Amino acid sequence: MGILDSVKQTFNIAGSEISVLIDDDVYSQGGVVTGKFLIKGGQYEQDVRSIRLELKEFWTETRSSGKNTTTVTVYETHQTVDLAGATAIERHSEQEYRFEVRLPTNARVSTTHTGWLLKVHLDVPKAIDPSGELKLTVQPAAELLAIVEACETSMRFEESLRHRRWDAKTTATRFRLLPPEVLKSELDYLRLELKMGEDGSVSGTLVFDLQEKSIGDYFKALVNKDQVKRPLNLSREQVLADDGGPNTLAISKVIGDAVQEVVEQRQ
């Protein structure tokens, strides 16, 4: 996607207009975020000590104090880029700064109230430092989505998108797959808990939520004892084909064998 089609947000800061442009609308976990800042001078000249870019993660937390409960947004800086040192922003001038920052390999996936943002600071002498923010949209890595796609196209599972989650403790991304008709009597759902490796491999856990077939199964379900777990380890070659698409045959073979094993053990 070209820069003319990119996301853009503009701030009017201390008389200067700052436009933040990114080269794509959506980025993947571990992806490189690229773009530029455009600064247009205002009605008078400004001296700036420095211009700094920060890549920040944000999420919400519920905190209690006595009888009061509040929800707060927490920010954590992951990367800082110095775009410029001492700079004079002259009247009606235009300055452009390119930037590049990389998201963590298993970065938080964006939701309505959590995700990632870019923040730009201008250090202005004897003044409140102005800043502006632009939220990013971050989706699961292509390798993780390839596994989900292979399960859907080859084994006829269907992802329940509303159950897609990112786990803050493990940094794994969770996908809930609803079973095809032939497996509905055995499975409520299959959950994939997946993490990317630095070499492009994928590891994680297959969690089978079994259908209740007896009173004993029913009581197991009440305490989540009706779940069977199997480890999952796939090399990059098993996940992605040479053309970059899902290696459907390899993925469905590994996961299909696990499904068959779990189902047969119940019979």
Q: What is the C-alpha separation between 196 and 145, in angstroms, rounded?
A: 11
For residue 2, pLDDT beyond 50: no
Q: What is the C-alpha separation between 191 and 249, in angstroms, rounded?
A: 20
The strand pair at 138-139 and 27-28 is best described as parallel
Domains of the chain and any CATH numbers: 3-139 (2.60.40.640), 142-266 (no CATH)
Helix/strand/coil percentages in the chain, nearest 5: 20, 50, 30
Give the contacts of 169 (CB within 8 A, at least 6 positions apart).
Answer: none
Question: How much of the chain exceeds pLDDT 90, in percent?
Answer: 60
CA distances to 80, 83, 96 from 88, in Å: 22, 14, 13
The pLDDT of residue 10 is 57
For residue 216, pLDDT beyond 60: no
What's the whole-number mean pLDDT along residues 83-104?
87
Residues 58/133, Cβ–Cβ less than 8 Å: no
Q: What is the C-alpha separation between 8 and 31, in angstroms, rounded?
A: 19
Hey, how many other C-beta atoms are within 10 angstroms of the C-beta on 54? 18
What's the whole-number mean pLDDT along residues 7-27?
73
Q: Is the pLDDT higher at 57 or at 122?
A: 57
On average, the pLDDT of the chain sits at 86
Q: What is the C-alpha separation between 83 and 18, in angstroms, rounded?
A: 14
The strand pair at 16-22 and 7-13 is best described as antiparallel
pLDDT tens by residue, 166-214:
999 999 999 999 999 999 999 999 999 999 999 999 999 999 999 866 5
Q: Residue 257 has what DSSP assignment?
A: H
The pLDDT of residue 26 is 95
pLDDT tens by residue, 232-265:
999 999 999 999 899 999 999 999 999 999 988 8
162 pLDDT band (50/70/90 cuts)? very high
Comparing 4-8, 49-53, 227-231, the range with the smallest average pLDDT is: 4-8
The pLDDT of residue 224 is 55
Residues 41/90, Cβ–Cβ less than 8 Å: yes
**Does pTM top 0.75 for this prediction?**
yes
Question: How much of the chain exceeds pLDDT 70, in percent?
Answer: 86
What's the whole-number mean pLDDT along residues 31-60?
87
